Structure 1
Amino acid sequence: MKTDPSRLRQNTVSWLTLFAASGTLICCALPILFVTLGLGAAVAAVTSAVPFLVTLALHKTWAFAGSGLMLLASGWLLYRPGRACPSDPELGRLCERAQRWNRRIHGVSAAIWGIGFFAAYLALPIRIWLGV
């Protein structure tokens, strides 16, 4: 069975988007959550064991911009007009299944990106504004 290059490209973009969105969660949202919960020593231990996280956190604007663009590209590939599955019953069933999984991956990626964005850019200003 031959694989359609556009479906392969869409699957690749979906997985890369999930990976990039997870990177924003790991660099920014989880450390903030851990420090908020009083686990600052755990964050210090992890960043000393994995120093790349510090570099990622220093360049979080680029990380969020890149993953956001990938999320937009993935959404466009997934929901663009004129998408249709093959009329062959077997290929059509496989196509629908792939689209269902791609939508799930895209939804999880968008949620992860949103949580990371909230934690990295909005949580502290909201907390200051509320006076907490």
Structure 2
Amino acid sequence: MAAEMHRLQATKRLNLLSLFTSGSTLICCALPAAMVAIGSVATLTSLISQFPQLIWISEHKPLVFSLAGAMLLVAGWLQWQARLLPCPADPALAALCKRTRQQSLWVYVFSVVLFVTGAFFAFVAPLLID
């Protein structure tokens, strides 16, 4: 029983990590494109001057997207494996187990949406503009 709870906790942690890596893809590509599209170039310039690390992320976007994609694949596999694990017999722990699974799934889906959005702005949108 403890092994199942440990696996669920590991899945939740990995899903949160995949959320952060997916968020970095959004920051590197979708955020600057959206700011330029709405005419907030001055805001983007001041943002980059405050956080120069954004330039590094944008320059290394294949690496950032590869790492984020790998994290999402591992998180998705763990999510798939955890769906069949039994929850504890105790009603309170069973409810917590089900709620954790549901929250973990939503975090994973949100991470995938962020990743796809960032990938569109990083790799597809520039092809459409040219």
Same fold (TM over 0.5): yes
Flag structure 1 segments of 5+ consecutive residues without an equivalent: none
What is the distance in 2 between the residues matched to 1:35 and 1:11?
Answer: 35
Higher relative contact order structure (alpha carbons within 8 Å, sequence separation ≥ 6) = 2
Over aligned residue pairs, what C-alpha RMSD do you find? 1.8
Identity %: 29
What is residue 10 of structure 1 aligned with on the other side?
A: 11
What is residue 95 of structure 2 aligned with on the other side?
A: 93
Encode CA deviations 1:72-92: one digit per residue, 9 max, x unaligned. 111111112772222403322
Moved more, 81-90 or 9-18: 81-90
* Matched positions, count: 127
C-alpha spacing 1:32/1:84, structure 2 compared with 1 (3 Å): same
Moved over 3 A (4+): none
What is residue 51 of structure 2 aligned with on the other side?
A: 50
What is the 5 A alignment of 1:79-90?
Answer: 79-80=80-81, 83-88=84-89, 89-90=91-92
Contact 1:14 1:102 survives alignment (8 Å): yes
Q: Secondary structure at the match of 2:128?
A: helix
What is residue 123 of structure 1 aligned with on the other side?
A: 125
Residue 40 of structure 1 and its aligned partner are, at CA, apart by 1.5
Match of 2:104 among 84, 102, 105: 102
Flag structure 2 segments of 5+ consecutive residues without an equivalent: none
Q: TM-score, normalised to structure 1's length?
A: 0.88
